A and B are shown apart, each in its own frame.
Chain A
Amino acid sequence: MSAFKQIQDQLRVAIREGNEEQATILAQRAVEMGIDPSLIFDECITPVLAQAGDQFARLEIFLPEVLLAADAAKAIFKVLEPVIQADEAVSVSLGKVIIGTVSGDVHEIGKNIVGIMLEVNGFSVKDLGRDVPVSAFLDTARDYQADIIAMSSLLTTSMPYIRDLVNLIKDTGENKRFKTLIGGGPVTSEWAAAIGADGYGKDATEAVKVAKQMVGA
C-alpha cells in the first residue's frame, strides 16, 4: 500500500467529521511523508467537501456539519500552503469569488449558505457580509483579484443596488474581468437577464453550478 493510501482514508474521515485537530496532524504527517499536496486536494478535500455539499443540498446533513468539514479542510490547507507555494503547478481553487448582501439589506443566511457551498465545491470565497455598499464590492474584487462577484438581496428595495453594481462594472470596463452572479428571494432569472447580470442562482446548488460554468470548470 502506498504512503498516500495509508493516510487517505483517515484524512477523509477527519474532514467528514469536521475534526480540525486530527486533520492538522494528518496533514503534517502527509507533508513529512513527502506526499504530493495535489493528491490530498484531489483525493481527499475536493471529493469529501463536494459530498458534504451534495448532502446539504438534499438536507441529509445541515449547515453546521458542512461548516465543520470546511474548517477541517482549511486546517489541512494551512499545513499544505508552504508546500503548495513552492509548487506553482498545484491548482487548489476553481476560482475566486467575493460575495455579499447588497446595501440596505441585512438578510444574509441564504448568502452564507451560497458562500459555504461555493467553498466546499472548490472556490476561494471572500465574504463581505451584509449591507455592503456597491463600491466595496468592486474595490474588494480588484484587491482580491476575484473572478466572480456574487450578490444577494432578499428585499425588492435593495435589488436596485445589484443593478447599480452590474452597471458600474460595465462603466469601468471591468465586465470582462469580473462575472456577476446574483440571487435572493425576489430575484428572478428574468430580472437577472434584464439587468445584464452574467448569472443567476435560484438557490445555493444552482449558484454553484452557474459559478462553475463561469470559470469553465
Chain B
Amino acid sequence: MRNASRLIEILDRMENGPGIIEKDFDSLIMKRIPELVNEFEIKFYGENFVNTDDAMADRCYEAGLKLAEEAGVYCVSNNRRMIWSRREILDTIKWAPTSIVIGAGRDAHNEYRRDPEDPRRPTIICGPIGQTIPEDLFLPIMQSYFQEQIADTVITGTIETVYGRECRTKSPWEILSGWHEAELALTAAKRAGREGIAIGCVENANSDITELSATSYGAFRQTDWHHIAMISELKTDYMLLNKLTHLTKTDCILHSFYNPIYGGLAGGAEGLAVVTVAGLIMLQMIYMTTTHSQCPTHPFFLSNTAPPIIWSIGLSVQALSRNTPFMLDVLTSPVGGPCTKTVLYESAAIATTATVSGAARLMGVRSTVGKFRGHASGLEARFNGEVGYAAAGMKREKANEIVKQIVPKYLNQLDKEPKGKIFPEAYDMHTLRPRPEWLKMYDEAKEELSKIGLALK
C-alpha cells in the first residue's frame, strides 16, 4: 500500500530522535494534556454520553494533533522520542487508506472509512480478543464467532495452553501457540463455511518472534490482518517495531491498537480523548497501519463502558473521522459475560456510540474484560454487530438519548464482575447454538432496546 513506504524513515526516527528518560516523557505528557484540554476548551459535563458538538470534536482533533507533534512517541528500548513536524504528520495522514479488501474468495470483504452519522454499515469484527480460552474450548468457541453471519472478519482469543503444556511468553511454547492459533482458527473458519474470511491475528504473539513465526508460509495469510499495539501512554519498543518491520516486508495488513488509561497520566475523560487522538495519529506515523483501534480502559474495572469513557470514545472517534481519512475501530470491552444482560447492554452503549461517531469497524466482544477464561461466545458479538447496524445513519442526538437510557441498566454492575457462564454452559456443545436461557436474554434485550429507539431486527 502507498502508505507503507515509510519504513526506513520510521526506523531512522526511532534511532535518531532526541533522548529523554521515561519519567520525564511521562511528566511531559502529564503536564501538557491538561493545558491542551483547557486551551481547546474540551469539557465533559457528565449528563450527555454521546458528543453532539462538532466544534468540540474539531478542537479535540487540534489538541490531539498538537500533543502528537510535541510529544511524539517514546521508544522505551533506546530512550528516544520518535518525532515528526506538524507538516510531516499532516502529509502522512492524508495518504492513510480509506478502504481495503480483507479476506479472500467468497468471504472477501470490502471495508471503508465512515463519517459521523454515516448511513453505511460498519464492518463487524467478531471475536474474544485478549480473552484466555481453554485449549479444549478454543475450536468450538472460535467456531461460534465464525458462524455468525454478521461477521465480516473474526479476531481470535488467546489459547491458554498448547498441546496441554503451559505457554509462556518469549519461549518456544509461545511460538508453538502462535501456530496452534493459526491451525485451530483456520479449522474453525472452515468448519463454519467461512474459509476465506479474514482473521485478526496473531493474538498469541506477545513477543515479536511469535508474530514472525506464525506469519510464515502455512500459518496466517496475507489476506488476514495483524495487530500491533502501542504501549500506554504514547510508547513503543523494539519488539513492536520488529513486528512492524516483518509485517511490512511481508506485505501484511496492519491494524493498530491503543488502550489509554482513564484516570491515568491523561487524567479524566477530556484528557483521555485528547491522548487517544494523539495516539491514533502517531500509530499511523510509527506503524503505517490500515485501521486504527482504540479501547480506553478503566483503571479499576478494566472495561470501557463507564460513562466518561463512552463519551471519550465518541468524541475521539468524531474528532478523527471528521478530520482524517482514518478507518477507525472501537473494541467493546464490557465487564459482563455470556448469559448476562449486562454484557448486552454494555455492548449496545459502545456500539451505538462508536457507530454514530464514525467508527468504520466494531470489534469484540471482549466479555468479562477478558478476565474469566472461556467466558465468551459468538452471541454477544452478534448483538454488538446488530446494534451497529441499527445505529448506522442515526443522528447523534438520538443516539445520546438512547445511550442515556441504556447506561443505567448496567451501571451498578461495573464493580461486580458479572462473569455469567463459561461457554459450555452458554452454548450447546453438540449443535454450537446458544442455549435457550442465553437466547432468551438476547431476545429480551433486543426487544427492550427496540422500544427505546434501536431498530434491532
Contacts and interface: CB of A to CB of B under 8 A. Distances in A.
Interface of A: 56-57, 59, 62-64, 67, 103-107, 109-110, 112-113, 130, 155-158, 160-161, 185-186, 188, 203-205
Minimum-distance CB pairs A-B, first 10 = A104-B169, A160-B168, A62-B267, A62-B263, A157-B169, A156-B132, A64-B30, A203-B300, A109-B261, A104-B170
Nearest to B205: A157
B264 interface: yes
B167 A157 contact: yes
Contact of B174 (A67, A130, A157): A157
B264 A62 contact: yes
A204 B167 contact: no
- Residue of B170, B237, B265, B300 contacting most chain A CB atoms (<10 Å): B300
Contacts of B369: 185
Interface centre among A63, A64, A161 (most CB of B within 10 A): A64
Nearest to B237: A106
Contacts of A106: 76, 231, 237, 239
25 contacts: A59-B263, A62-B264, A62-B267, A63-B264, A64-B34, A67-B30, A106-B76, A106-B239, A107-B232, A109-B264, A110-B299, A113-B264, A113-B299, A156-B132, A156-B160, A157-B158, A157-B167, A157-B169, A157-B204, A158-B168, A161-B168, A186-B371, A186-B373, A188-B371, A204-B300
Contact of B169 (A56, A103, A112): A103
Contacts of A188: 371
A106 B232 CA distance: 9
A103 B237 contact: no
Nearest to B300: A203
Contacts of B158: 155-157
Given A106-B237, A157-B168, A161-B169, 17 more contacts: A57-B300, A62-B271, A63-B267, A64-B267, A104-B206, A106-B76, A106-B231, A109-B264, A113-B264, A155-B169, A156-B160, A157-B158, A157-B169, A160-B166, A161-B168, A185-B371, A188-B371
Contacts of B264: 62-63, 109, 112-113
A156 B264 CA distance: 23
Nearest to A59: B263
Nearest to B260: A109
**Most chain B CB atoms below 10 A, which of A104, A130, A161:** A104
A63 B265 contact: yes
A103 B170 contact: yes
B370 A63 contact: no
A63 B168 contact: no
A64 B37 CA distance: 14
